[in-house]
């Protein structure tokens, strides 16, 4: 199975925050942003494996600053690492300054998608080749996040989490 370069899984969606998308403070509704990120992440996952993909989990979504109505929001997603049938995807969210046009990062999220067949069973996906420094850093972190998730769900003993343990001893 041919490996895929991380950069070939990039997907971009630019949107305008309409009244329809806002909460009662006039800012982008958290739930709406979560739905937008899910949609664009599914495109990256699909571009990686060319299969039907479904959301498996969402993690590390932080809403650092409110996004005002009328803002132009750009979502960029990229696969950071693939495990047998699952893909970890980073979604970075940027808001554009109305006057200068400068983009500022305002959110980040990690989604996991799984490739499935007609019966919903898992299908193997290609491995990813990280190239840039950020791609490599996120690729490495993915293993740690996977161990952590297995521990938290009781499927792995903490003492066996090789990669994660380093975090607690060495640092």
Burial class (CB in 10 A: 0-12, 13-18, 19+), 140: middle
Cβ atoms of residues 125 and 112 within 8 Å: no
Q: How far is the CB of 16 from a copy of itself (least distance, A)?
A: 6
The residue (of 62 and 133) whose beta carbon lies closer to a copy of itself is 62
Burial class (CB in 10 A: 0-12, 13-18, 19+), 93: buried
Q: How far is the CB of 2 from a copy of itself (least distance, A)?
A: 13
Cβ atoms of residues 82 and 125 within 8 Å: yes
The residue (of 52 and 123) whose beta carbon lies closer to a copy of itself is 52
User: In the complex, which residues of this chain contact a copy of itself (CB under 8 A)?
Assistant: 11-20, 22-27, 29-32, 34-40, 42-43, 46-47, 50, 52, 54-63, 66, 69-70, 72, 96, 98-101, 109, 120, 148-149, 151-153, 157-159, 161, 164-165, 167-168, 171
């Amino acid at each position: 199975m041919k490996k895929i370069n991380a950069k070939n899984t990039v997907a971009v969606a630019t949107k305008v925050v309409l009244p329809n998308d806002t909460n009662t403070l006039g800012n982008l509704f958290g739930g709406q942003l979560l739905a937008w990120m899910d949609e664009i992440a599914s495109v990256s996952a699909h571009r990686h494996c060319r299969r039907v993909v479904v959301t498996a989990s969402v993690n590390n979504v932080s809403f650092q600053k409110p996004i005002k109505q009328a803002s132009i929001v750009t979502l960029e997603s990229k696969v950071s690492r693939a495990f047998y049938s699952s893909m970890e995807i980073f979604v970075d969210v940027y808001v554009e300054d109305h006057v200068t046009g400068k983009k500022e990062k305002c959110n980040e999220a990690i989604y996991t998608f799984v490739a499935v067949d007609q019966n919903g069973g898992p299908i193997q996906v290609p491995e990813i080749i990280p190239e840039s420094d950020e791609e490599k850093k996120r690729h490495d972190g993915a293993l740690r996040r996977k161990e952590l998730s297995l521990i938290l769900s009781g499927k792995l003993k903490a003492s066996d989490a090789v990669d994660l343990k380093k975090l607690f001893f060495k640092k």
